Amino acid sequence: MDRSALEIIGGHGLSGHVRVSGAKNSALVIMAGMLLCPGDCHISNVPQLEDINNMVKILTALGVKIEHQGSSLKANASDIGHSQAPYELVSKLRASFFAIGPLLSRLGVAHIPLPGGCAIGARPVELHVRGLRAMGATVLIEHGVVKASVPGQRGRLQGAKIYLDCPSVGATETLMMAATLAEGKTVIDNAAQEPEVIDLANFCIAMGAKIEGAGTNTITIEGVETLHSAEWSIIPDRIEAGTFLVAGAITHSEITVGPVVPEHLTAVIAKLEAMGCKVLKEGSDALRLIPAAAYKAVDIRTLPFPGFPTDMQAQLMALMTLAEGNSIITETMFENRLQHVAELQRMGANIRAQGDTALVTGTAALSGAPVMATDLRASAALVLAGLAAQGKTTVQELRHLDRGYERLDEKLRQLGAKIERVELPLESEGQAGAARSPA
């Protein structure tokens, strides 16, 4: 149990502008994409996160030379010799599986430990594996390791027509990267359309890849012999931006958030406005959140982009607990992404969850309590609830939060929140769980 925790005194308004960092889910996959290039690549606006640090370790273990300072990351993957990512690193970071496509394309072989499940679900990778097999790879899974290789002399993947059973972000990204150096044309049908997929495609195009259709459900890649050096700046993190918009709404504060790409937040903005907020464009790349005195209940169903993002479901639920009326949330993307319900209930929220659906009945106020974070976005939801709750909320298990949010407590403090990072005394370990019956 990590003893670091956030102590939040609720009920304080926020004001000012909060800066949004680069997108975690773009930076991680683009870092894997740097393996495709036998030369220098430089990416900027990289968020400073635990996940990024772990990805640097994994790339270094694969033989990539990396210079990582702040939000700048330079890499040279000209002599990657190892095709085996170390288990102890991979087990900490699912995104390390993104290395399989580039390693297979560059070396004709890749041994990557099978990423396990995580708090929110089983997180299978059979769509990645099936697509690589369609491109001519032999893929075996032995003792928890995915062993992929390309038979034949040149060991080069072949272009293929691939249909994804579901528009998986990761599978789309793995197969798009693998196809950049394959022989011939690859078409990915039912591809994911998330902005992070587009950012990866644009980075690969900057390296000389021939990719069309990123952002639509059909992506076409013409394989090339090799890629060249490129510079790239990571897009702003739409989920971090959305989280801050909810922070303004839940504390009834007018704040500005940026940089953002408004089109990346269409679904989130639509729901916040349906609840009573106003979200206005501010300058060229920021948004202004104007809160409502009281919020209306809305229903949400998480869907692949451009539908409502699953990564914002927990944060909106926190706001819904204080809306007037009943909201229904249906989580269709992951099988176990309602764990924040139990913790919000500890704060007085009136929520009934069954299967993938939660019924949220708004209440007049939440009360601060010690709570336990279970996954990245659940952690954010608990922080947001703590900002609005009466009294003190202590959010434990910050390792989840630090994986995906750059200095969230500091950024909120700069907006006026009463939030401090503390080290809990030993005897308090499990305090948040005190109310729980033994497992």
Positions marked active-site: 118
- Near ligand EPZ by CB under 6 A: residue from 5, 59, 127, 383: 127
User: Whose CA is closest to 185, among 153, 163, 149, 157?
Assistant: 157
CB atoms inside a 10 Å sphere around CB 428: 16
State yes or no: residue 85 binds ligand EPZ (CB under 6 A).
Answer: no
CA distance 115 to 90: 7
CA distance 381 to 302: 16
Could you tell me how far CA 157 lies from the centroid of its own chain? 29
State yes or no: residue 313 binds ligand EPZ (CB under 6 A).
Answer: no
Q: Which amino acid is at 171?
A: A
State yes or no: residue 230 binds ligand EPZ (CB under 6 A).
Answer: no
State yes or no: residue 121 binds ligand EPZ (CB under 6 A).
Answer: yes
- Near ligand EPZ by CB under 6 A: residue from 17, 57, 123, 392: 123
Q: How far is the CB of 125 from ligand EPZ (least distance, A)?
A: 5
CA distance 339 to 85: 31
Q: Which amino acid is at 347?
A: M
Sign (positive/negative) of CA torsion 29, 30, 31, 35?
positive
In terms of residues, how long is the chain? Answer: 439
Strand partners, 280: 288
Q: Using CB under 6 A, which of the segments 103-111, 188-196, 281-289, 405-413 binds ligand EPZ?
A: 188-196
Q: Using CB under 6 A, which of the segments 72-80, 124-132, 383-391, 422-430 binds ligand EPZ?
A: 124-132
Q: How far is the CB of 193 from ligand EPZ (least distance, A)?
A: 10
The two three-digit tokens of residue 271, written as one number: 């729901």
Q: How far is the CB of 267 from ligand EPZ (least distance, A)?
A: 12
Contact positions with ligand EPZ (CB under 6 A) in 350-389: 376-377
State yes or no: residue 96 binds ligand EPZ (CB under 6 A).
Answer: no
State yes or no: residue 56 binds ligand EPZ (CB under 6 A).
Answer: no
Q: Do 171 and 128 meet the contact criterion of CB atoms below 8 Å apart?
A: yes
CB atoms inside a 10 Å sphere around CB 266: 14
- Near ligand EPZ by CB under 6 A: residue from 333, 344, 380, 401: 333
User: Whose CA is closest to 231, among 261, 205, 259?
Assistant: 205
Contact positions with ligand EPZ (CB under 6 A) in 137-156: none
Report in angstroms the alpha-carbon separations of 415 from 15, 164, 387: 5, 43, 12
State yes or no: residue 307 binds ligand EPZ (CB under 6 A).
Answer: no
- Near ligand EPZ by CB under 6 A: residue from 248, 334, 372, 406: 334
DSSP state of 215: T
State yes or no: residue 343 binds ligand EPZ (CB under 6 A).
Answer: no
- Near ligand EPZ by CB under 6 A: residue from 7, 10, 25, 389: 25
Rg of the chain over all Cα atoms, to the nearest angstrom: 22
State yes or no: residue 33 binds ligand EPZ (CB under 6 A).
Answer: no
State yes or no: residue 128 binds ligand EPZ (CB under 6 A).
Answer: yes
- Near ligand EPZ by CB under 6 A: residue from 2, 67, 126, 212: 126
Residue 29's H or E segment, with its range, is helix 24-33
Q: Which residues bind ligand EPZ (CB under 6 A)?
A: 24-25, 28, 95, 121, 123-128, 166, 168-171, 192, 194, 196, 310-311, 333-334, 376-377, 404
